[in-house]
Structure 1
Amino acid sequence: MILNIRRTLLAAAALLVTTLPASVHPHVFAEARLDVVLNPDNTVRSLRHLWRFDDLFSSTVLMEFDKNADLKLDDSELAEVSKTIFESIGEYNYFQVVTQDGKDVPMKPPANLMANFEEQQLIILFEAEPKEPLQLVGKLDFGVYDPTFYTAMDFTDDANMSVANLPATCTRQVIRPDPDEAIAQNQASLTDAFFNDPAGTDMSKIFATKLELTCQAKG
């Protein structure tokens, strides 16, 4: 299946705690963009995602889904690509990492996911909304990360994690964790998480590149 997302990688979490940088490598690479869209009342309206996949993976998708062998993907073939990716990443919250003051923010599944090909690269676009109104208060983290480590989501520039019309009560920064430091600082909690729930260990919050907003409540 496309993206080849496998729970077996998560089942090896105990080993990843000590060997991740040396032994686990992504097989698919995507240049990502994340736009946090705000409502007029300064609640979060949605997260808009754009992923541009590497040439090798894009070529593989083209070969797999080009049913009429015309070396391009027509609308029906692109629809099948969209459906397959949508189903593949759904159980991983669509690679979204959203927290407020360290607590998970539930997100609605995106209504749809659109696939396209531009300059021989696969492009994926979709938009997701919080399940409940999300106020710009406290520390909010927004990131994109594949918890199976199979796909590397690369934000090549800090400007690719964007929020328009950010109010003056908020500050913005992009956080790029160092994997070695993240493992060293969180080794105990990662080990505990594995033994408590070996099938569901999620290290996204630790390793994801994140857009962090720190917002003060209005007086």
Structure 2
Amino acid sequence: MTSSKNKSLLNVLGLTCLMTGLGVVAASAHPHVFAEARLEITITPDRSVEKLAHVWRFDDLFSSTVLMEFDKKGTLKLDSAELNELSTTIDTSIAEYKYFQTVTQDGKDIAMNKPEHLIADLPDNQLIVLFESKPEKPLKLEPGHKVSFGVYDPTFYTAIDYLKDEDLVVKGMPSGCSSAVVRPDPDEALAQNQQSLTQAFFDEAAAMTNDVSKFFATRIEITCK
């Protein structure tokens, strides 16, 4: 169970569950925090997904809020100890949401290992979060199968998105494989996945199990022949 202290930190970081506790999908939900994302996927020569490297750059207003919350000395900048506290807080806050990652193979969720290190920094007073993650089990790009990667906040509180297709990068793309960036239309996603989303609205456990956020996430899909 989340402690009162952690709840307050989650509120500061904009990572709380939706109001009234009705689940992760609600028509009235809208983002309050915005971040520009970059994702770099590294593929090994044997077609295995080695790692995902994430970079998130948050909006000025939210960055200022974070600075004020963690600037214990009133210097208008964070020292190494304060940055470590911020990194730990963010890591703890988003761990239960799978670090906002959506990784699937043929539509089925792929479990990812917890990042070894999550780094938060505030260069020029703008919050940047960086971390790497790896699949729990070997994940290979197989002919006739589709693997997709993206990020999305299932609480709908934080809007993390890729502004340009070029912000989704694949290193080591094997021959015979290709990638495409998909930007789902919210109305179409709702219509196509109405049953799953309705169940998630009334059953938070089902929502977390089905990871409905993947329906709305901007993602890069890799297919191989």
TM-score normalised to structure 2 length:
0.88
Identity %: 56
Q: Distance in 2 between matches of 1:132 and 1:6?
A: 30
Counterpart residue number, 2:33: 28
Match of 1:204 in 2: 213
Is the 1:10–1:200 contact (alpha carbons within 8 Å) kept by the matching residues of 2? Answer: no
Match of 2:60 in 1: 55
Q: When the two structures are superposed, what TM-score results if normalisation uses the length of structure 1?
A: 0.90
Amino acid in the other structure paired with 2:104: T
Measured after TM superposition, the shift of residue 199 of structure 1 is 3.7
User: Which residue identity does 2:212 align to in structure 1?
Assistant: M
Deviation at 1:205, TM superposition (A): 1.2
Residues 127-176 of structure 1, C-alpha deviation per residue, up to 9 Å, x if partnerless? 00001111012100101000000100020000101101211221100000
Distance of aligned partners of 1:98 and 1:115 in 2 relative to their CA distance in 1, 3 Å threshold: same
In the other structure, the counterpart of 1:45 is 50
Is 1:88 the equivalent of 2:97?
Answer: no
What is the aligned counterpart of 1:180 among 179, 187, 203?
187
Conserved 8 A contact 2:162-2:168: yes
Count of aligned positions: 210
Q: Distance in 1 between matches of 2:129 and 2:78?
A: 14
Structure 2: gaps (5+ residues) = 1-8
Which residue identity is paired with 2:101?
Q
- Structure 1 residues 127 and 10, CA, compared in 2 at 3 Å: closer, same or farther? farther
Determine the structure 2 residue equivalent to 1:4: 14
Please tell me whether the aligned partners of residues 56 and 129 of structure 2 are also in contact (alpha carbons under 8 angstroms): yes
1:192 deviates by 3.0
Q: Tell me whether 143-152 or 184-193 shows the greater mean CA deviation.
A: 184-193
What's the counterpart of residue 6 of structure 2? none
What is the RMSD computed on CA atoms of the aligned residues? Answer: 1.7
Deviations 1:41-90 (A, max 9, x none): 22000100000000000001111101111111111110011000000000
Q: What amino acid sits opposite 2:102 in the alignment?
A: V
CA distance in structure 2 between the partners assigned to 1:171 and 1:153 by the alignment: 24
- Give the equivalent residue in structure 1 for 2:149: 142
Residues 1:119 and 2:129 aligned together: no
Query: CA separation in 2, counterparts of 1:10 and 1:169?
Result: 48
Q: What is the identity, as a one-letter code, of the residue corresponding to 1:4?
A: G
When structure 1 is superposed on structure 2, of 3-12 and 201-210 the one drifting more is 3-12
Query: Deviation of residue 188 (structure 1)?
Result: 2.0
* Aligned match of 2:169: 162
Unaligned regions of 5+ residues in structure 1, if any? none
**Residue pair 1:10, 1:199 contacting (<8 A) in 2 also:** no
Does the 8 Å contact 2:184/2:216 carry over to 1? Answer: yes
